[in-house]
Amino acid sequence: MDRDIRTVEDVLRLLDGLFAPDADRWTAGAASWWDGFYADRSRPVPFFEAKPDENLVSYVDRGLVAGGRALDLGCGPGRNALYLASSGFQVDAVDLSPAAVAWAGDRAREAGADVRFRAGDAFGLVGDELGGPYDLIYDSGCFHHLPPHRRISYLDVLDRALAPGGHFALTCFAAGSTGSEASDGDFYRQSRLHGGLAYTPESLRWIFSDLTEIELRRMRDERSESPRFGEPFLWTALFRRD
């Protein structure tokens, strides 16, 4: 007879277990799935290219974010982390996949960029190895792979690591374009995440209602020859912690 529940984290881990095999893509044990995804660096995956997100470039160009410490959540091969480093930020970057972090490290060495990469679960690393506070926390494609209950952990990371006056920015699946539009409850009834969760502007504003919205729009479509990454099936959002 097991009596395993004493803390909120115990409840969250219990709920994590409902999503096998989808959990292989996002839990702390998901490194092997993502390592396989990143194993072939020549695959024609748009975000494998060393291009920063067009919205991130826009924030920097317009002076909406400027310098300081930055944390890149789910950094993948490091394309946004390297851009932030080149724009004057001190950058920490974390990803579940050691293969992605190794690739990002190779790119950083080639570019002569100083970025501190870490492989692991951001929920555990922030507050331990990655102490913050950060002037910018950036997430390009991590948030929409989390099951609903892990928004609690995600918001806790922002609460602990985002500096007063700092900015949080993300890109995520846009409802009506890509991602699952099932209700939060249906994900638990079906025990599947269906590849990722779609969000509406209203849902993002509600989830991050403790922050001040600066901008929320669709990502602009960037052509293949563009030096920036852009796909219109994603929302881009910038918030500030007052």
With residue 76 as reference, give the H or E element that holds it: none
Q: Tens digits of per-residue pLDDT, 44-54?
A: 988 889 999 99
* Single pTM value for the model: 0.95
pLDDT on residue 30: 74
Q: Is 38 part of a structural domain of the chain?
A: yes
How many domains in the chain? 1
Q: Is 3 part of a structural domain of the chain?
A: no
pLDDT on residue 12: 92
Q: Could you tell me which of 54, 52, 100 has the C-alpha nearest to residue 77?
A: 100
Q: Is 49 part of a structural domain of the chain?
A: yes
What residue numbers bound the domain in which 88 lies? 8-240
Q: Is 154 part of a structural domain of the chain?
A: yes
Q: Is 1 part of a structural domain of the chain?
A: no
Q: Is 32 part of a structural domain of the chain?
A: yes
Q: Is 15 part of a structural domain of the chain?
A: yes
Amino acid at the residue 233: F
Q: Is 82 part of a structural domain of the chain?
A: yes
Give the domain CATH number at 13: 3.40.50.150
Q: What is the mean pLDDT of each run of 10 residues along the chain (242 residues)?
A: 90 87 64 85 90 98 97 97 98 94 96 95 82 94 94 96 98 97 95 93 98 98 96 98 96
